[in-house]
Amino acid sequence: MFIRNEPFRFFLKHYPVTSLILAVNLLIFLVLYISGTWHVAPVFAYNVFQFMVGSNAMILQGAWWQLITPIFLHISFSHFLFNAFSIFLFAPALEALLGRLKFLLAFLGTGIISNIAVLFLESPGFSHNGASGAVFGLFGIYLYLVIFRKELIPRPDQTIIIVLLVLGLISSFLYPNIDIKGHLTGFLAGLALAPLLFLNVRFRSSRK
């Protein structure tokens, strides 16, 4: 379920939403890295960052799009790599189970709910970026499946989900500059939305 050894074209064909999410994140990271870190166009990089970053102060002043754009913004390579790798591993199975539209709603929905929660839980001066809220939203959905819809998850993968979830939650408290509240609220959003997302979903193999 989580072993990604498909050919590139197969992956693109069967997981188009996951592929698009990864492509957008990669494109934005590369554009900012080349223009900003390499000082090719630092002013452009700064303006893009200011437009996309989740700034509570700017959102409160009307920059509503910053509830969405931070999901696709990563500054450090390690941050981008962790989130991109997590999406690459865990998103395809959910896209296969839910279908393209419902998976997109799940990914964006948990990320946006996480960003809304951070708006109210953090100070106006707080800002954030990254897909971590949506990634933990996927973990929340998987936990729901492990508890309530076991028939959709092979038993070995249930153990993997629990272990990775525990490790992810622990790591949120161990490393500096981690948006802990964003992680937790994204996770809870996934757990809360999962019953609606899987209301009419019946077993079908996600391994092709």
Active centre residues (catalytic): 132, 183
Q: How many CB atoms lie within 10 A of CB 146?
A: 19
For CA atoms 34, 37, 43, 48, the dihedral sign is positive
Instruction: Locate 129 and state its tokens.
Output: 């970026």
For CA atoms 39, 40, 44, 50, the dihedral sign is negative
Q: How many CB atoms lie within 10 A of CB 48?
A: 18
Q: Are 145 and 152 in contact (CB under 8 A)?
A: yes
Q: How many CB atoms lie within 10 A of CB 168?
A: 17
Instruction: Locate 107 and state its tokens.
Output: 């990914």
Instruction: Locate 189 and state its tokens.
Output: 């959003």
For CA atoms 63, 21, 17, 206, the dihedral sign is negative
Q: At 84, is the secondary structure helix, strand, or coil? A: helix
Q: Are 18 and 94 in contact (CB under 8 A)?
A: no
